[in-house]
Structure 1
């Protein structure tokens, strides 16, 4: 009996020890996880949260000739919603996005399908050459296109002199199209590689089964490849919308290279905010503009994400 009691006591102590160790293990794992994410969390707070909070603080002030930097509450936001120049830039960026993003993504999908087909000669060269523009810095890309399309000392200028024509890609009516061509040239290759990687992950057995069933190449693309691209296409659309809403480099650099381009100080919201802050000394108004534009971008991207992912999962 005594021996049995000792065994029961030992078993009870072991059970209690195991119960105490389990929470300790969980706490240890939690601490390790927090240690891993702490550097990212710190950087996220420093480079994202703190600037947003500071911009919100600045947006509540106005720089006045008499009184200096004065607290004005929501006056900057009230003024912004009545600012025709701001809404002109928003409308321009909206139409630019509505045209440029579909064109760029359709080209990227077509190129990815061509590479995945295995029938494209020089596929490696095509893949590298199409992706290469993405590696070119935006400023260098803008300068290159400005020199090439400019009529003063560029390719079109030489063509006009030789042919007696008057073509001008940077005329006020066509400047936005030229900027769209520049952006499409720069980012098509990046999206192409994303789509190509997704297509490479599709099991080859599906293609073999489709071929045995007598499916044509077009049917394989329509029934297998395009559905496989749906989720990645939604992500590409979201990032493309965010990128085009932030367009800045091209309208900032081009006016110094080409004359009479129609690019004003409020051509895009980002350019308008930059000129307000660094030329007009209206940091508070520029901060309010940046925050409102960020909210518009987030709302549009979120709406596209919800609708796109719902359609992707439904199929």
Structure 2
């Protein structure tokens, strides 16, 4: 009797690189989804900022009469463009105007947004009224700033405004909202009208995330609706208020469309009414791209410092940050 033995089959040993490749694939998948946004950010935001910083350090040297092909050469300027921008007699007045504009727009807009959000949240049962109110308040935000400025501009003009007719019908002289004393309020009104709805939606969304049982417990303890709003709702939405404040601050420092659109309708708005309008004038009216780039960098740095400083000041309290 012969015994036959069968050799055991050889199994392929697991390759050491397979888990590593799988891990690398899992790690790279999120970056693949982020790649389009990162490319667009680099191409349309980061690259222009870097290029503006480069231009702000350059200037044109004119040789002779400046008529030849090589008579104008770009040379290193250092901080000369920043010095010219900061010492420009039109720069500081534009900064003061933007500061006054922000003192009007930001508190009023956020105050109205918070008020509307609290009123809508106080009556959650009437969904039909709530939807109509939310859409009505948010709708102005969907109107582009240029279109909104044109609409309000014609309402401001005394000769074509129906508001003037209403005032005259009751025997009252209508105020000229495009006069030098009221121009600031006219421009601020457009920003408040257009931005309140967006901020209201942000705050209202934060309020909707709060369970109603918390409010019911407060009512059982005898708290009024005003006390609930002041002691419970506003502290809860404080992070949303901080975020909307930062957004409003950035939009204030970059105000451009409203005064630029109203300028042909009123002779009280100069070409340097805001810092960004000064950038536009230097770049396209005076063809001084280097001074315009320096002013743009100054505005960007001011925006970053103010936004970061405010978040650093209130961030720990608003977002419950710990050391």
TM-score if structure 1 supplies the norm length?
Answer: 0.88
Provide the alpha-carbon RMSD of the alignment: 2.3
Match 1:243 to one of 217, 240, 251:
251
More helix by share: 1
285-294 or 160-169, which deviates more: 160-169
Q: CA deviation at 1:31?
A: 2.2
Q: 1 CA distance for matches of 2:49 and 2:294? A: 11
Distance 1:169 1:175 in 2: 6
1:34-53 equivalences in 2 (<5 Å): 34-53=31-50
Q: CA deviation at 1:166?
A: 5.5
Give the one of 96, 105, 108 matched to 2:110.
105
Quote the residue 1:280 is aligned against.
286
Where structure 2 has 5 or more consecutive residues not aligned to the other structure, the ranges are 1-7
SS in 2 for 1:62: strand
Q: Could you list the per-position Cα deviations for residues 249-296 of structure 1 after superposition, in whole angstroms to 9, with x for gaps in the alignment?
A: 1111112123x3x21111001111011111110111101111110100
Distance 2:16 2:224 in 1: 63
Q: Secondary structure at the match of 2:282?
A: helix
Name the TM-score, length of structure 2 as normaliser. Answer: 0.86
**1:73-114 CA deviation, whole Å, 9 max, x = no partner?**
321011112123112111211221122101100100000000
1: CA distance between counterparts of 2:152 and 2:73? 41
Instruction: Name stretches of at least 5 consecutive residues in structure 1 with no aligned partner.
Output: 1-5
Q: Which moved more, 1:115-124 or 1:85-94?
A: 115-124
Alignment of 1:179-194 (within 5 A): 179-194=187-202
Matches within 5 A, 1:89-104: 89-104=94-109
SS at match of 1:84: coil
Alignment correspondent of 1:3? none
SS in 1 for 2:74: strand
Q: Which runs of 4+ in 1 moved over 6 A?
A: none
In structure 1, how many angstroms separate the alpha carbons of the residues matched to 2:163 and 2:35?
Answer: 54
How far off its partner does 1:30 sit? 1.8
Instruction: Quickly say closer, same or farther: Cα 1:164–1:46, change in 2 above 3 A.
Output: same
Distance 1:64 1:165 in 2: 56
Shift of residue 18, structure 1, vs aligned partner:
8.4
Matching residue of 1:82: 87
Alignment match, 2:218 = 210
Selected match of 1:115 from 108, 116, 120 = 120
* Deviates most, 31-40 or 167-176: 31-40
Deviations 1:142-176 (A, max 9, x none): 01001111123223544566536262111111101
How many positions carry a matched residue from both structures? 301
Provide the C-alpha distance between the structure 1 equivalents of 2:60 and 2:162, rounded to a whole number of angstroms: 45
- Whole-angstrom CA distance in 1 between matches of 2:249 and 2:219: 37
